[in-house]
Chains A and B, each alone.
Chain A
Amino acid sequence: MSQIEELLRQALSETPAATTVHDPLAAVDRRVRRARARIAAGAGVGVAAVAAAVIVPLTVAGSSRGADGLQVGHSPSPTPAATHGGPPASEAVTTVDAPGPISSVAVSADGRAYAAGSWQVSSGAAFVGQVQGGKLTHVVTVPGPADAVIADMDVAWVYGTDRTGRSRLTAVYLQSGGTAPDDALPGRILSATAAADSLFVLTATPQGTEVDRFVTDNQGLALVDDHPVAGAKRLVTDAAGQAWVQTGRQLIPLLPEAQTFSFGHAVPWPGGQPVYGPALPSGVWAYDGRLIELSPPLLANGTSVAEGWRLNTNGVPSAAVSAPGGGAYYGIRSAAAGSDSGVFYYSRRAMTDGAARPDDRLAGVGVAALAVDPDGGVLLVTTSGKLQHWTPAQS
């Protein structure tokens, strides 16, 4: 050891540990109580948002059920394909039977489709299951609610925020039927994305927004690292497997280490412009007035450089996914002014031709979520809580 190292070690060992706090535990205890109270109070906005996104659709779903509890299957009237002038609404759509309203659907990189929803008969409980051959299988009950499901290799992450404003996160191993123990989080989950054998979660806490990294181990869920990110809006993982956090003005890459993560160089991207999820070959779907395939790392060189495919849409999409073979699906939630609700399918050929017209369209359906079905076609969650499968004519 060198002289400076010895001196430094000695100086650090003599660092004063003077304390003015007589009862540090009492001080920490008070602050924890205050923090929990702020979490509960601040959850009001979150509850309202969840109510708008989840509770209202469930009410609609409930009203469409017959006395025997079976879904009647009523869909809103189709909206004419005004601007796109596409083909008539496809009839190749089926509804997947589920034990309650569905809130989310996702497909893992290894080709498993998962759907999550709320039990119709058990208030407060939620479920997640695997979608196979047009049926929901391997159904597992999880603590409710289930606002979203994130599909990863061999595991489905389910999260939701209850009426008290507390969020829950559960890891479900559908092949084994086991669930990792879930616990209340210190804040409200705003967004989540899977990357690097872990789940990144964007949480709103009394101190602000932060990104947490969770892994699963034989003891259940473990929070391995967390960092505050001011003004964070959402998380997304691109098709290359890189996770990003979107803030008011930027996309910032999350760089995972073994048990931690750090941030890479931010690139400019307005927080008000949605990003949806992976876009083949290596970007994300995003919206800037058009639906675009965006390569975030290239944004440092300018937006036009980072944009790949561009699709003109009639309204802001609620979901967008890449289709096998290089095409794309996007969904519109509601038939508001200037919008056409439904699912729109573009083949690779249509996109190459300039994407003026979709190849097919499932009209008149409010779309909450989309996922490409590994068995072909696309899975969609409607705003009325149905899980449907659609095979477009040209796919």
Chain B
Amino acid sequence: MDRRAPAVDPRLGDYVRGQWPALVRYATALCGSPSEAEELVQSALVRVALRWPFVRDKDNPDGYVRRAVLNAYLNVWRRVRSRETSMAEVPDAAGVDATAGVAEGVALRAALQQLPARQRAVLVLRYLEDRSETETADLLGCSVGTVKSQTSKGLAKLRRAVGLPDDVSDLHDGTAR
């Protein structure tokens, strides 16, 4: 049994114990692989632990940790981008039964993984994390206009991937709220 004092601050430790599944889900939505997601979250938590003195709200580090996960994801993606298989078009998923919710969800998540990393991140932040456009722009270090355009383009690609008809309401700005 390791009797040394923990290397991680107890407040961060409590947070990790409580939020680990949610963090892995968030990372899985970003990178598409549960095993990769665990590594992503652990790497981000190590970075947070090493920077703990600079975390402003030590009793609620959720925002800081999620930003760290996002940065880790985008940075990992930058490093492996050259190894990824390039697909000019999202695979045609026409024929998926619209009533088969499970299969549709799988197809949609698979299509999500074919999007460029930052476009994927925009959609995850907007539709899983329920972040506003302003918050999303702040997290990604881009303008609100970029968030809107990336949302619109991402949704259009997903719609084609699952065989839904074009919906002009998605194309103007892609806002959910």
A259 touches B138 (CB 8 A): yes
Tell me which of A7, A27, A262 contacts B42 (CB under 8 A). Answer: A27
Residue B84 lies at the interface, judged by CB distance under 8 Å to chain A: no
Q: Is the interface of A mostly helix, strand, loop or mixed?
A: mixed
B128 touches A15 (CB 8 A): yes
B142 touches A2 (CB 8 A): no
Tell me which of B6, B108, B139 contacts A29 (CB under 8 A). Answer: B6
A24 touches B50 (CB 8 A): no
Q: Mark A199-224, 1 if CB is under 8 A from B, else 0.
A: 00000010000000010010101110
Q: How many residues of B contact A (CB 8 A)?
A: 57
A2 touches B169 (CB 8 A): yes
Chain A residues contacting B20 (CB-CB under 8 Å) are 19, 21, 24
Chain A residues contacting B67 (CB-CB under 8 Å) are 225
Chain A residues contacting B51 (CB-CB under 8 Å) are 186, 223, 226
Residue A36 lies at the interface, judged by CB distance under 8 Å to chain B: yes
Chain B residues contacting A186 (CB-CB under 8 Å) are 47, 50-51
A29 touches B164 (CB 8 A): no
Specify the chain A residue showing the minimal Cβ separation from B137: A257
Specify the chain B residue showing the minimal Cβ separation from A181: B53
Chain B residues contacting A5 (CB-CB under 8 Å) are 127, 155, 170, 174, 176
- Chain A: number of interface residues, binned into ranges: 35 or more
Tell me which of B35, B49, B159 contacts A4 (CB under 8 A). Answer: B159
A303 to B36, CA, bound (A): 43
Residue A67 lies at the interface, judged by CB distance under 8 Å to chain B: no
B46 touches A32 (CB 8 A): yes
Chain A residues contacting B121 (CB-CB under 8 Å) are none
Residue A258 lies at the interface, judged by CB distance under 8 Å to chain B: yes
Interchain nearest-CB distance for B70 vs A (Å): 10
Interchain nearest-CB distance for A252 vs B (Å): 13
A32 touches B50 (CB 8 A): yes
A18 to B49, CA, bound (A): 23
Chain A residues contacting B137 (CB-CB under 8 Å) are 257
Tell me which of B50, B106, B174 contacts A36 (CB under 8 A). Answer: B50
Chain A residues contacting B71 (CB-CB under 8 Å) are 225-227
Tell me which of B16, B34, B42, B158 contacts A8 (CB under 8 A). Answer: B158
A73 to B50, CA, bound (A): 44
B8 touches A29 (CB 8 A): yes
Residue A52 lies at the interface, judged by CB distance under 8 Å to chain B: no
Chain A residues contacting B62 (CB-CB under 8 Å) are none
A11 touches B108 (CB 8 A): yes
Residue A20 lies at the interface, judged by CB distance under 8 Å to chain B: yes
Complex A-B: 20 CB contacts under 8 Å:
A3-B167, A4-B159, A5-B127, A7-B162, A12-B123, A12-B124, A15-B29, A15-B128, A17-B28, A18-B34, A19-B24, A20-B38, A28-B42, A28-B46, A32-B46, A217-B56, A221-B54, A222-B54, A226-B71, A260-B141
Given contacts A31-B42, A219-B56, A257-B141, 12 further A-B contacts (CB under 8 A): A4-B158, A5-B174, A8-B108, A8-B123, A10-B101, A14-B105, A24-B42, A28-B16, A214-B54, A223-B54, A227-B71, A259-B138
